[in-house]
Structure 1
Amino acid sequence: MTPSELLLEGVELMLFGMGFVYLFLILLVLMIRVMSWVIERFAEKTPIPVSVPSAVKPVSDEPSADVLAAIQSAIHQHRARRG
């Protein structure tokens, strides 16, 4: 076999391989769309219940007294270590 014949066979094999891949992908997309249509058509349409929060905690910009005491204690310990 000559190099040009080998090159032509390689190109032919590449085109066949790519053609099969694209054909498979097209069939896959079509089958997914068909399955989606079938599921939408025959599935029960039940509403999804929405959960309502029982107690809503008000949001404040200021931290609580415990948090402020902890922050002050941490600052004091940090400054005491540094000297």
Structure 2
Amino acid sequence: MPETSLINESLSLMAIGMGIVFSFLLLLVVLLRAMSWIAGRLSPGLPEASAPSAAVSTGSDAVSASNDELIAVISAAIARYRSSRR
């Protein structure tokens, strides 16, 4: 076979392969968007997050106590993680 025929055949085979892959990926995107739309229509709405009433009503003392408690919880979690990794 002449070289030009081989090159033409390889280019057409490459175009067919790339077309199949592109078509599959396009179909995948369309299906995922459709599934997302359907899931959004079927699922109930998420409730709105509200601010804690204690922190709002008492002022900065409650926020400071909440932050201290949060720091203690995070420190305990880090200590436990580090102890289990050794």
**TM-score greater than 0.5 by the shorter chain:** yes
Determine which structure has greater relative contact order: mean sequence separation of CA pairs < 8 Å that are 6+ residues apart, divided by chain length.
2
Q: What's the counterpart of residue 14 of structure 1? A: 14
Equivalent residues in 2 for 1:1-83 (5 A)? 1-50=1-50, 52=52, 54=55, 55-57=62-64
User: Distance in 1 between the 2:46 and 2:6 partners?
Assistant: 62
Partners of 2:31 and 2:25 lie apart in 1 by 10
| Whole-angstrom CA distance in 2 between matches of 1:3 and 1:22 | 28
User: Segments of 4+ in structure 1 off by > 6 A?
Assistant: none
TM-score (norm. length: structure 1):
0.58
RMSD: 1.8
Distance 1:50 1:17 in 2: 53
Greater Cα radius of gyration, structure 1 or 2 = 1
Quote the offset at 1:28 in angstroms. 1.1
What 5-or-longer segments of structure 1 have no aligned partner? 58-83
* Residue identity (%): 39
Give the secondary structure class of the aligned counterpart of 1:47. Answer: coil
Aligned equivalents of 1:7 and 1:50: distance in 2?
Answer: 66
Q: Which runs of 5+ in 2 are unaligned?
A: 56-61, 65-86
